[in-house]
Structure 1
């Protein structure tokens, strides 16, 4: 049944399992003065999907001491909020089930009953799809190619232990329509709770794709909580003063009308941060992989998107177009990838690169008797010593040694940690290793293989345990009735298209050499083994310069020599004054096993903004970022 008279207000109260815990309770407590209809919270990532898969399999194998495979931090956030959720009738939809949604349901029901509250709790299943993958593979229906590498699943050198697909939002909508107060999910897509909430509230239909696409974009904007309010934002320095400044960045609210119009705002009570065209642009560019943005319910077409500042902390979304959803949904397949260990040294003052070379030569010799069993061994000097540093700490840089192997015993202390620390007496001047040696002991790592599964093979179900009969306690959610198969290659252009050739050094006046980030914002993130990065400028006349400068070749040069043969996609978003790149396989095999310190790809943008290019002086005169 559709509500009338006003947009739905959906609060984004968590962006990961590592988010602060107070936002659900805070939104609920402030309902009388800042009402919201639904609170959504995201607790999943590709990293905790893979690690939770390991815990789930350990549970099934009755391994001693196996931890819960749902998200424990959600329970910390939920407990103080339950009373106000019930008092004010606020709905809650979360993906905190991770790989054990039924187990989370059982724990949440005990919490609700212990407080004597009348809250109906539903849970969604269907995301666990390893049997469907195995059956389809055996029947020869699909090769299940990796969408990042192109390899076939049958040729993967790891044994799958778990597979989880991304569900859409209509299961959540159905649960809310049946009276659920709390909807617990596993791997629904990050934006699906917002799609489901808006679909339920406004009584939308599946064919209303423009409305669904706008809700999808709204969900993407608020699913990372503080990011759209100034967290992880390259304009962070301007947020330092006023209100709570940096100390307490607030949480967002999406207002979605019955027609699908979207406004992004934030908590009305005193918090830091802000919602602006730039903070929205920052979050929009995060994690997208091209102009076609897929969800199980709809495809959002982003090349015409733009934002409008409607007032303080109010930004309207315009220009989103829609297409049918793809017939497939993304699947993450987890396998045990072996083990990893690390050791850290500190190098100070002069000649840090020579000291690092000396240490590497010595350590490689000491590890040689064992290294034939390593699957990876890498040495990285992280940074450079500040010249004429004002104190010793600022003249010190870390040196990281990371190793991987198939078996834990191949990384036993006698085969990795002890040889490394035993090197100290023959070491470089000032040789010092980190005394916290816990990372030097092997920890399990998980491989993550991403492929596609037909939505028709997914048994998407909603469980309504308060219903009177077994027949009414489970609802089946049908796959979308109309889909479209899209090209595996997103639209890409290696250079910009202009009416006349542009000379970067001459057409924009005098230039000086300096960091790209003095003028340009950027935002990056990870998707499987890929990293994306979007760049944008603040002023319209700067955009021709940006898109002329940032070709695929320039991006490759700015990245440096570590990935000379990398495939790079590029597309432009004129309404955002942005250029977006997708760096394919930049993160090796993904967040769970990559050996880079930037395992989430979030610092790709910060590195590229630090690279020097020719900057027009007239743009710099407006003030540096």
Structure 2
């Protein structure tokens, strides 16, 4: 357990701030990565600055699924004697390339590093980091955190009758239709704090929560008592959420992106100051593009949240009272987060083999697009014959439109996407997802096609490929074996037990419409146009749930927004995208925001979805494009 009484050997002073005892000042945490696709310069660049801790996130539900499936494949190959080299595909292969150039500065300046990069073989990645440290002749201690892999635990509990209710659909695992092959749960930051308390310089984690590295850094630096300092730890949880996606909080995915165009080639990475009371302040690395403003920070807060309560394994944060204030150029102070006991459970993600999928693209152009798409669909379904009965998904989607009097042929051309999924690659009547097969169903009709039928010149997507299903539920924290391993101390292992005070929370968070709505006609004459002219926002995914939050820049706009955006209004704006699922709503007055959770909206999530929006990031931009009546007085202030 993390103790508030820190060993004296750790009561050091930062090399560049000898006049400031560590417990008095804020810990400076730099966010170096929001995912495996982030810029690889970040750790090296940040290590050159006045930083105490560098954190980074290399995992996601997508990577958890893919790495987990690869681990099962590796184990099968090993059992068959076919795996003779080091395992592949178990973590981001470029991680060492990210870290290596920064190691001399990390060692020289005493910077700590905590990352959730180990994926499905944290021990192996930690060993690789140790090897690189030794190769450079440096003295850095590398610890790792394990216990996130819970496949055996999940299988045992299934046999004992555990229902594992889906967080998205509310159905039980038995109704899912797939068999889990791999499971990982989300660990908190206490293990990271324990590793740092015992002298680690670099802490490599598997599936800790994205915000956990910042939580661990705060616990270690400020000596918070895990059993009672809930407000402070909750503040660090939200600080971690804000820093976890790196440049998102500095202008990435920002609704006001047009004003940041000049510096968009090199957005800055964030630096958070986490204070002893749990509040935090954000700025960014100097001489970089982007900005840190209430708008950029609020946008990141609204990303991938589920309601007024933000759950972590160490604490629950209530964000309804959060307040953001600009204290200067590229500096925002965040206060008002309240802490509650952590939940008795933690989130667990299960991976299962889904089957095979393929897609084919036909390009059509000009007028009568819907009729042309209908013609093509009828012909392809006829060619498929009885094989259609074995498809779990057979979807035609017309994407794009031809504007009036198009300025060139490309803008008048649309993509008709034909997408299929099936559990079996071989279908009836010798049909298959091999080529030729599904590919042939689509090709057969080329010369019988509608006017403008055009074949794409890359047919590789029409070959069936394996896809995986992903299922999210809850696992009791008491069933998790959270451990810290210290290799330099003869691989000493420290168990990190759950907090003694935890609380059960319902699956559904509080949802409500606004109190005392105003009459929106009071704002005077209006102009009809896209909501995004005056409303910013951000959306994201959690498996098949999508969340979307909207905010405005002025107080009178806030009264208008909270009165306008009811649950029924969102259903109306979703239009054909609304499939009848439950929608939950709450408000964050301190940032003038209204948030919605769209239950089971994303067709199963990244790894198996049949839609273009694999990560829920486009939900917000779709809704911001919808036309509403906007008060002219708001438009006169300028558009996003």
Q: TM (normalized to structure 2)? A: 0.93
Alignment of 1:486-497 (within 5 A): 486-493=505-512, 495-497=513-515
Q: Which moved further from structure 2: 415-424 or 214-223?
A: 415-424
SS at match of 2:397: strand
> For residue 474 of structure 1, what is the aligned residue in structure 2?
493
Contact 1:12 1:41 in 2 (8 A): yes
The answer to whether residue 373 in structure 2 is matched with residue 352 in structure 1 is no
The answer to whether residue 291 in structure 2 is matched with residue 274 in structure 1 is yes
The answer to whether residue 521 in structure 2 is matched with residue 502 in structure 1 is no
Contact 1:556 1:564 in 2 (8 A): no
- Looking at structure 2, the residues matched to 177 and 516 of structure 1 have their Cα atoms a distance apart, in angstroms, of 49
The answer to whether residue 28 in structure 2 is matched with residue 6 in structure 1 is no
The answer to whether residue 244 in structure 2 is matched with residue 223 in structure 1 is yes
Pick the aligned partner of 1:43 from 43, 49, 58: 58
Contact 1:370 1:415 in 2 (8 A): no
SS at match of 2:314: coil
Pick the aligned partner of 1:203 from 215, 223, 226: 223
Q: How big is the shift at 1:460?
A: 0.3
- Looking at structure 2, the residues matched to 368 and 232 of structure 1 have their Cα atoms a distance apart, in angstroms, of 44
- Looking at structure 2, the residues matched to 156 and 502 of structure 1 have their Cα atoms a distance apart, in angstroms, of 44
- Looking at structure 1, the residues matched to 26 and 515 of structure 2 have their Cα atoms a distance apart, in angstroms, of 40
Pick the aligned partner of 1:139 from 142, 150, 160: 160
- Looking at structure 2, the residues matched to 160 and 537 of structure 1 have their Cα atoms a distance apart, in angstroms, of 43
Alignment of 1:116-127 (within 5 A): 116-127=137-148
- Looking at structure 2, the residues matched to 562 and 220 of structure 1 have their Cα atoms a distance apart, in angstroms, of 28
> For residue 16 of structure 2, what is the aligned residue in structure 1?
none
> For residue 385 of structure 2, what is the aligned residue in structure 1?
368
- Looking at structure 2, the residues matched to 564 and 83 of structure 1 have their Cα atoms a distance apart, in angstroms, of 54
- Looking at structure 1, the residues matched to 97 and 438 of structure 2 have their Cα atoms a distance apart, in angstroms, of 38
Alignment of 1:320-335 (within 5 A): 320-335=337-352
- Looking at structure 2, the residues matched to 418 and 197 of structure 1 have their Cα atoms a distance apart, in angstroms, of 56
> For residue 153 of structure 1, what is the aligned residue in structure 2?
173
Q: 1:408 to 1:81 in 2, by over 3 A?
A: farther
Contact 1:346 1:433 in 2 (8 A): yes
Q: 1:413 to 1:371 in 2, by over 3 A?
A: farther
Q: How big is the shift at 1:154?
A: 3.0
SS at match of 1:532: strand
Contact 1:367 1:415 in 2 (8 A): no
Pick the aligned partner of 2:130 from 109, 116, 121: 109
> For residue 212 of structure 1, what is the aligned residue in structure 2?
233
The answer to whether residue 265 in structure 2 is matched with residue 247 in structure 1 is yes
- Looking at structure 2, the residues matched to 199 and 50 of structure 1 have their Cα atoms a distance apart, in angstroms, of 30
Q: C-alpha deviations, 1:570-599, integer Å up to 9, x for none?
A: 111111111100000001212211111001
Q: C-alpha deviations, 1:44-102, integer Å up to 9, x for none?
A: 11111111110011111126576321111322211222222222221111111111111
The answer to whether residue 191 in structure 2 is matched with residue 168 in structure 1 is no
Q: How big is the shift at 1:138?
A: 2.4
Pick the aligned partner of 1:567 from 566, 571, 582: 582
Q: Which moved further from structure 2: 452-461 or 69-78?
A: 69-78
The answer to whether residue 532 in structure 2 is matched with residue 517 in structure 1 is yes
Alignment of 1:371-382 (within 5 A): 371-382=388-399
Q: How big is the shift at 1:111?
A: 1.8
- Looking at structure 2, the residues matched to 432 and 235 of structure 1 have their Cα atoms a distance apart, in angstroms, of 37
SS at match of 1:11: strand
> For residue 207 of structure 2, what is the aligned residue in structure 1?
187
- Looking at structure 2, the residues matched to 417 and 80 of structure 1 have their Cα atoms a distance apart, in angstroms, of 46
Runs of 4+, deviation exceeding 6 Å: none
SS at match of 1:86: helix
Pick the aligned partner of 1:384 from 398, 401, 424: 401
Q: How big is the shift at 1:502?
A: 3.4
The answer to whether residue 349 in structure 2 is matched with residue 315 in structure 1 is no
Q: C-alpha deviations, 1:510-538, integer Å up to 9, x for none?
A: 11211111110011000111000001101
Pick the aligned partner of 1:605 from 591, 605, 620: 620
> For residue 284 of structure 1, what is the aligned residue in structure 2?
301
> For residue 439 of structure 1, what is the aligned residue in structure 2?
461
Contact 2:579 2:601 in 1 (8 A): no
Q: 1:517 to 1:50 in 2, by over 3 A?
A: same
- Looking at structure 2, the residues matched to 75 and 367 of structure 1 have their Cα atoms a distance apart, in angstroms, of 48
> For residue 450 of structure 1, what is the aligned residue in structure 2?
472
SS at match of 1:48: helix
- Looking at structure 2, the residues matched to 517 and 211 of structure 1 have their Cα atoms a distance apart, in angstroms, of 35
Give the superposed CA RMSD. Answer: 1.4
Q: C-alpha deviations, 1:531-583, integer Å up to 9, x for none?
A: 00001101111111111111101100100134342210011111111110000
> For residue 18 of structure 2, what is the aligned residue in structure 1?
none
The answer to whether residue 421 in structure 2 is matched with residue 404 in structure 1 is yes
Contact 1:445 1:592 in 2 (8 A): yes
Q: C-alpha deviations, 1:453-509, integer Å up to 9, x for none?
A: 111111000010100x45xx111001111011112221111x3221xx6333x2210
Q: TM (normalized to structure 1)? A: 0.95
Contact 1:70 1:103 in 2 (8 A): no
SS at match of 2:114: strand
SS at match of 1:368: helix
- Looking at structure 2, the residues matched to 261 and 291 of structure 1 have their Cα atoms a distance apart, in angstroms, of 18
Q: Which runs of 5+ in 1 are unaligned?
A: none
- Looking at structure 1, the residues matched to 23 and 624 of structure 2 have their Cα atoms a distance apart, in angstroms, of 46
- Looking at structure 2, the residues matched to 345 and 374 of structure 1 have their Cα atoms a distance apart, in angstroms, of 20
The answer to whether residue 442 in structure 2 is matched with residue 420 in structure 1 is yes
- Looking at structure 2, the residues matched to 4 and 143 of structure 1 have their Cα atoms a distance apart, in angstroms, of 45
How many equivalent residue pairs?
Answer: 609
> For residue 531 of structure 1, what is the aligned residue in structure 2?
546
